[in-house]
Structure 1
Amino acid sequence: MNKDVEEKIRERIKSQYPFPPYQSQLDLSKDIYVSLAQGTKVQMYMIVKVSIFESPTGTGKSYALIEGALNYLEDIKSNTLIKVKQKCQIDDGMPDWFNEPDVELKLNPLRKPNENKQQKKHVKLVDDDAIFDYSSSEETQINLRGQSLNDKIIYCSRTHSQLKQFINEIRRSKHKVRVSTIGSRQQLCVNQSILSKANNNVNKLNHLCKSHKKQCSYYKSLDTLEQYTQEIFDINDLLTASKKCQSCPYYAAKELSLQADIICTPYQLLMESIDQYIEPIIIVDEAHNFGSALLQTESCEVSLSQLNIIVGGIDDYRKKYHQRVKAKTLYYLNQLLQLCKSLIDKIKTKQSGSLITLIDFMVEIGIPKMNIIKLIKFLQNKEMRQRINGFIDSSQNVTHYSSFECFCKFISQLILTSQKESILYIEKSNTMKLSKINNYSSFQTLIDKSRNLVFLGGTLQPLNEFEIFKERVDSNEFIFKEYPHIISKDRCQLLVINAQLEYSFKQKNENLNQLMIQTNSLIQDIEKCIPEGIVIFMQTYTFLEQFKQYAKSNNLQFSKQVFFDEKQSSQILEKYSEVAKKGAILLSVVGGSLSEGINFSDHLARAVIIFGVPYPNLDSFELKEQININGNQYYDNITMRAVNQCIGRVIRHKNDYGLLFLIDKRFSEDKLRLKFSTWLQNRITIQNDFKGTNFFESFKKIL
């Protein structure tokens, strides 16, 4: 890129910062702006660009993202975008209407803009339980209202608390944009009658909301949306506004997102949200979690009890409506009934705990004999599924709500997936599970439906799961950049301690008592050298609980107050934070709720200690298949990404400082050591035993 243009972009963005940015922060903002500008539509040509940016934790990457993206958004809307790429050449022989931006033309390139549109015919409903015409679902109507050629940014992160942090950062900026947040019914439903009936059952809540929507006073009050007067909404703002005007925040969020410049959504809702907009810009923050979150979202299962409910429900449905619905509807219901009975037979006869070959299984249950394309089209009709599901749930006196929805999703995924993408097995609980083991199809969908993809995180390397994008786009349209840490070398060091005993739990550890003694001894030695707070990460909750019991039974005494993380308690962090300044130890687990997304700045973590290499449990079918496909390096990669996440807790801003301790000799081996984040590579010291440290001597004046 021309250096003058690059400098012009940098200065443009710098002028918008409400504070002096770090150099790496400004570089990241500039690179995001350039990436989005290069992904901009040029007349009828769309350049799909995938950008991956890694900037260490504590370098202000979220705000850098805001300035890069919002400056781009303002410039593209005011037609002042700084040109970073030449326009594509358009054939002068094409008619004028071919190059005009037109929503319907985009959906149907053979139609001229002035052509009259034919209205689709709709089947009149016999009653509330009759099959709905394929083209007239309410969801489709919402989607069509949302389609727009305006630039929209879909911003994704892991949790709503992270989305809220991002939105608060937007409020700090000078930019005037409209922001809305999409959430699930579980987070946004305010109808107390429905909530009490659902009794914390998510499927039941979804079913009750859909089936009682027309009777819901909050849904009926959606015409009061003009009272949602503010420009920026996080999930709490939606709930507050809905209480004020007594309307439904769940559906209000959908409506508000149609006018928003930025739509914030958790990972899990991205794939169902993307269809509402034409070629949006998708930005994924904290992207190290993104791939695994998609795999979980798109995996599905169906149980024996659910299948029995469906068989009874479809039978009752056919008896009640066989003279009032179309013959093709009955035809597809009969096919689904046949598939349902075949699945029941397979669950009863197949051995649990073993993998099933997908192709052979599909032949066994008769899928190749069916009209697959039409069956999928039938299954994908949301209104049809909701109506039949509602009938089954109400007529069968069920405890498993949304059984028919689960079944439809299962059959659709089974037909559309491949042996390379999913595995099928039966669990001991008489449940058949179809698990996604890679994101080939999901990532391709993102490429096809987005204008531009940006992934941002502090610990994205190794990039194994992002290699799919590299394979699917042109080499010059895929970029990866990493940025240096903002702290100097003397403010953070990493010590690898080659402890005598290895923290390995592949088999029952006969040296467990010796491991407890070694762990206690190291904690006692290290805590003497560390002021203020220490955060310790164990490999598993099992080992954490074993050490907790060991400490209790042996009446271990520490110079600092000790707190143990508990899965079900959210108050531990608060209690630890209150006393960390005076000296405290917090013990948690790698991959647990405290290992990422928590700001242990300053006195909250003057040291982070990790005991053992936290390899995931190999009992998982999914993990075994992923290793078979990607090799043992995949196992090391996901392990070290989790380690790098824990390491990121210690440094949170430019003036922060702290030590890192990794207790396991395997961390000193090249295959793991070389997978530490780049900024750490020149800060590593390896010791056979902990010999003490004078690291904090230079910070005594601060302390």
Structure 2
Amino acid sequence: MHNMDVGGDSEAPVTFPFPFPPYPIQEQFMGELYRVLEAGKVGIFESPTGTGKSLSLICGSLSWLRDFEEKRRQEEALVLAAEETEDNEEKKTDGASSSVTEPDWITQFVQKKEEMDIKNRIKEDQLRRKKREEKLEQMRRNVQLKFASKRKREDDDETVRLLKLSQQILSPEGDGGPILEQGEEELVLAEYESDEETKKGVQLDDEDDFEEEHVTKIYYCSRTHSQLSQFVHELQKSPFRKETKLVSLGSRQNMCVNEDVRRLGSVQLINDRCMEMQKNKHDKKSEEPEGKKKRGGRLTCPFYAYDQMQFLREEILVEVKDIEQLVSQAREVKACPYYASRYAIPAAQLVVLPYQMLLHDFTRRASGIKLKDQVVIIDEAHNLIDTITGMYSSQVTGAQLCQAFSQLAQYMERYRSRLKAKNLMYIKQILFLLEKFVVALGGNVKQNPNFQKVSQPGTTLKSINDFLFYSQVDNINLFKVHRYCTKSMIGRKLFGFTEKFGGTAVIIPAKEAPKSGGLQQFLQNLNQKSQGEGAADGLQENGPARSASPLMQIESFLFALTNANKDGRVLVQLQGTVAQSSLKFLMLNPAVHFAQVLKDCRSVIIAGGTMQPVADFKQQLLAAAGLQPDRIVEFSCGHVIPPENILPIVLCNGPTNQQLEFTYEKRGLPDTMDETGRILTNLCNVVPGGLVCFFPSYEYERLILDRWEKSGLLKRLAAKKKIFQEPKKASQVDQVLSDYSRCIKLSGQSPGPLTGALLFSVVGGKMSEGINFSDDLGRCVVMVGMPYPNIRSPELQEKMSYLDHTLPKTNGVSPGKVLIENLCMKAVNQSIGRAIRHRGDFATILLLDHRYSRPTVLGKLPQWIRSSTEVKQSFGAAYASIRKFFQIKKTAAAPS
């Protein structure tokens, strides 16, 4: 283990344990990270892939946490020692002369305001602990009384239920409603109490009032499950592996060990079924055996057992585990890893979790995550703005709206006599909203949406308030409706209802809705409709689908409409039929949702391999959230590779001296496409191994490859390097990469006409992120043109307009135009960074377009690429540099 001392802003030197002697850039990274955490600032950290970023984050942040905890321990020990000394002095001076004085160091200590604050804080902590202990003891004393009261209440409820059932048997058509099948009872909504009817701030259950104290911790989040596992494995190899209490959080879909729930498939359905079973568990009698059905057919989960989960919680904190290891152990001890991991959060020092769980406010609170005075590290954050925007955006189709209306209308008619007034009121409000939303799309919920043609196709943008007035739903309180949907779990009930009765998605006019006249009549009506117009609806193909009820998707759209009017827009998209048309909420201001994270946390670190250009983060995410510039720290380190191992070139002209400009107007010209083909043909003569060519779009890739096939150029390329193309399906990516890698390896081992392979890919596609073209897999990366986003997109135009009205100009350029260029360069940086993956790697990067030579564009390349970039006006000069580059590498690699 290597220890490295770095002088920082703190009084004592900082020691960073590291598994091996760190590179200088890793030392700089950890030192700056430590200083940012100590100062409580927000840092934007850029460290290229291959530079050991994960280890630097681990060792830098955990070193700070170790020192922070040690300082607190020393402060508390000092306060306790002072109190003990004071007590002793009081005893000594009791009844004696008042001239006896305290030691000087205590007098000085008591006089210092900062240390008095520490003393007060510790006393408050002790008082809180005492109150919690008293509360816990009171709960223990009352537990038998509570159970007795609960049993009496359940017995009374059972008596009432049996009386109602006897009335139904005697009079099936009476007020009691239809006789329900076994298991159908759980489909009926429980009595709903709004927040206004319950005492705000008062827990209904004493046990919810007891909460474990959260220690100071670091929340580390990344995009994917595999990236989180990789981070945990890095920690397991680090010097902190034994002393760190780590908990890995994941979704129920990743962590559930109940096979009956897992097979539901849909994330939403798994979540809802789990919460329902958990609720049943809390309601069930203590003497009922595990895993058995409750009265009425309600299921409980055998893995949701307090003792087993507490045992698993302790196991989680004892040893560092990733999610796979945690789930495996959970199966052994028959405990729920999803809830056990959440119980472990308060005592954990490092919490590893996916983006959505931390950045989405509702999910964060539901997971028991408290950010107050904690540290958050967001890794792989180059798409952070888009991620937050996507989380709070939502879209629903006309087909979903009509399907939800039909299902909910049938549900209400089936259980009308069993539903309380509040439930009926809210269901009618939801039906009203669905009907008006369909009208906004030019349709009618009482007709088949697939057969309703749209009269005037097009997209209309509206503010939230304008859309609510346009839809005539401005008199509905969407906050209350969304709260009702969440608490009543009506989406889950509705799915269970449609699943039980065949999952049909028929459109039933109100006058033809089935009456509550018994189950057989209801099923008969339902089957007749499904065989008639329902079969042609196209809303439900190949039998009942195991997917979430459309109402679940609509709930997120309703929640989106509760955003502030200035922060979002609604796109009314009319195309083809009403079923194909849609309503889309576009979140324009992600900062409003990130602001709470910045406000609560002690420090936030936004890290990534390629963070350039950082202006977007500073303006759209940090400044827009109210963060002061002096709290923002930028850090960008170079690459571990020596400068001579990379050759980035901006090429302005092709082999026939034609200027390279891939604008939308010029890139489709035959001369432009032919010139591009000549460049690749020449490169294949000098580039060994793999050559990866990125096109700006799938459309342009198809256009240019068709041109090359007709001209015979594709055949000439294939004679030099075997050609591979990015697959259309994500599931085929691994196979293509495997074949591509095998081809390069074989061509390097045996002499022949082929000198490797050529891979055609697309910027922003399946191979532009997360795929490593290390060593011979990517000796040259070619970027054809500048991949600007589609400026004609209504969403992008609205985003540009929003920024133009809310942000100042940059060097005289409007924020909207800056956004377009930044989006382009972000995509470029992600793609070209695929080639260099470790210290010994080497590659060339060729940017085909004279516009890359502009200083504003060059300035947005990563620093480690920008410092080595050469601008070549002629292809001859670029070709000579590339040939010389590979000749030198070949000579260096040859045995002496």
TM-score interval (norm. to shorter): 0.7 to 0.9
Query: Alignment partner of 2:686: what SS?
Result: coil
Aligned AA (1:440)? A
Distance 1:181 1:558, change over 3 A: farther
**What CA distance in whole angstroms lies between the structure 1 residues aligned with 2:11 and 2:23?**
18
Of 245, 251, 261, the residue aligned with 2:349 is 261
Tell me which residue corresponds to 1:43.
none
Q: State how 1:420-569 maps to structure 2 within 5 Å.
A: 420-428=567-575, 429-463=580-614, 464-467=616-619, 468-471=621-624, 472-499=626-653, 500=658, 502=660, 504=662, 506=664, 510-511=668-669, 513-549=670-706, 554=712, 555-556=715-716, 557-568=718-729, 569=732
Tell me which residue corresponds to 2:247.
180
Q: Answer yes or no: is the 8 Å Cα contact 1:495–1:660 preserved in 2.
A: yes
**What CA distance in whole angstroms lies between the structure 1 residues aligned with 2:203 and 2:719?**
62
Per the normalisation by structure 1, the TM-score is 0.84
2:378 equivalent to 1:284: yes
Alignment coverage as a number of residue pairs: 678
**What CA distance in whole angstroms lies between the structure 2 residues aligned with 1:633 and 1:143?**
49
Tell me which residue corresponds to 1:108.
none
Distance 1:10 1:52, change over 3 A: farther
CA displacement at 1:301 relative to structure 2: 1.9
2:739 equivalent to 1:575: yes
Distance 1:624 1:364, change over 3 A: closer
Q: Answer yes or no: is the 8 Å Cα contact 1:393–1:402 preserved in 2.
A: no
**What CA distance in whole angstroms lies between the structure 1 residues aligned with 2:378 and 2:253?**
23
CA displacement at 1:496 relative to structure 2: 0.8
Query: Alignment partner of 1:544: what SS?
Result: helix
CA displacement at 1:662 relative to structure 2: 0.5
Distance 1:690 1:507, change over 3 A: closer
Q: Answer yes or no: is the 8 Å Cα contact 2:689–2:757 preserved in 1.
A: yes
- CA-to-aligned-CA distance 1:142-174 (integer Å, 9 cap, x gap): 998776321232211121121122111111101
Q: Answer yes or no: is the 8 Å Cα contact 1:608–1:661 preserved in 2.
A: yes
**What CA distance in whole angstroms lies between the structure 2 residues aligned with 1:601 and 1:420?**
42
CA displacement at 1:456 relative to structure 2: 0.6
Q: Which runs of 5+ in 1 are unaligned?
A: 40-48, 106-110
Query: Alignment partner of 1:361: what SS?
Result: helix
Aligned AA (1:269)? M
Aligned AA (1:283)? I
CA displacement at 1:522 relative to structure 2: 1.1
Q: Answer yes or no: is the 8 Å Cα contact 2:570–2:583 preserved in 1.
A: no
**What CA distance in whole angstroms lies between the structure 2 residues aligned with 1:201 and 1:329?**
26
Aligned AA (1:264)? V
Distance 1:224 1:452, change over 3 A: same
Distance 1:427 1:443, change over 3 A: farther
Q: Answer yes or no: is the 8 Å Cα contact 2:463–2:568 preserved in 1.
A: no
Query: Alignment partner of 1:651: what SS?
Result: coil
Q: Answer yes or no: is the 8 Å Cα contact 2:800–2:819 preserved in 1.
A: yes
Of 541, 550, 555, the residue aligned with 1:403 is 550
Tell me which residue corresponds to 2:24.
23
**What CA distance in whole angstroms lies between the structure 2 residues aligned with 1:139 and 1:10?**
51
Q: Answer yes or no: is the 8 Å Cα contact 1:10–1:30 preserved in 2.
A: no
- CA-to-aligned-CA distance 1:74-126 (integer Å, 9 cap, x gap): 2333446999xxxx967979995897249989xxxxx9998999999999898
**What CA distance in whole angstroms lies between the structure 2 residues aligned with 1:202 and 1:180?**
22
Q: Answer yes or no: is the 8 Å Cα contact 2:661–2:667 preserved in 1.
A: no
Distance 1:473 1:139, change over 3 A: farther
2:464 equivalent to 1:358: yes
Q: State how 1:115-134 maps to structure 2 within 5 Å.
A: 128=186, 129=188, 130-131=190-191
Q: Which runs of 5+ in 2 are unaligned?
A: 1-5, 76-111, 162-184, 281-298, 444-455, 506-539, 541-546, 749-755, 804-815
CA displacement at 1:519 relative to structure 2: 2.6
- CA-to-aligned-CA distance 1:479-505 (integer Å, 9 cap, x gap): 222223333332222111114364646
Q: Answer yes or no: is the 8 Å Cα contact 1:222–1:248 preserved in 2.
A: no
CA displacement at 1:462 relative to structure 2: 1.9
Q: State how 1:61-460 maps to structure 2 within 5 Å.
A: 61-79=53-71, 100-101=124-125, 128=186, 129=188, 130-131=190-191, 148-175=213-240, 176-189=243-256, 191-194=258-261, 196=263, 198=264, 201-206=266-271, 215=299, 219-220=303-304, 224-225=308-309, 226=311, 229=315, 231-245=319-333, 247-257=335-345, 259-270=347-358, 271=360, 272-275=362-365, 276-279=368-371, 280-319=374-413, 327-348=421-442, 352-371=458-477, 374-375=480-481, 377-381=483-487, 383=489, 386-387=492-493, 390-391=496-497, 394=500, 397-398=504-505, 401-428=548-575, 429-460=580-611
Q: Answer yes or no: is the 8 Å Cα contact 2:214–2:346 preserved in 1.
A: no
Aligned AA (2:888)? S
- CA-to-aligned-CA distance 1:569-614 (integer Å, 9 cap, x gap): 1222223233435233332221123222233333332222111111
Q: Answer yes or no: is the 8 Å Cα contact 1:56–1:484 preserved in 2.
A: yes
Query: Alignment partner of 2:834: what SS?
Result: coil
Greater Cα shift, 174-183 or 397-406: 397-406
2:714 equivalent to 1:624: no
Q: Answer yes or no: is the 8 Å Cα contact 1:385–1:404 preserved in 2.
A: yes
**What CA distance in whole angstroms lies between the structure 2 residues aligned with 1:374 and 1:337?**
15
CA displacement at 1:65 relative to structure 2: 0.6
Tell me which residue corresponds to 2:830.
645
CA displacement at 1:387 relative to structure 2: 4.5
Query: Alignment partner of 1:618: what SS?
Result: coil
Query: Alignment partner of 1:416: what SS?
Result: coil
**What CA distance in whole angstroms lies between the structure 1 residues aligned with 2:635 and 2:490?**
46
Aligned AA (1:577)? S
2:847 equivalent to 1:662: yes
Identity of aligned residues (%): 27
Q: Answer yes or no: is the 8 Å Cα contact 2:691–2:757 preserved in 1.
A: yes
CA displacement at 1:297 relative to structure 2: 1.9
**What CA distance in whole angstroms lies between the structure 2 residues aligned with 1:232 and 1:673?**
43
Distance 1:559 1:416, change over 3 A: same
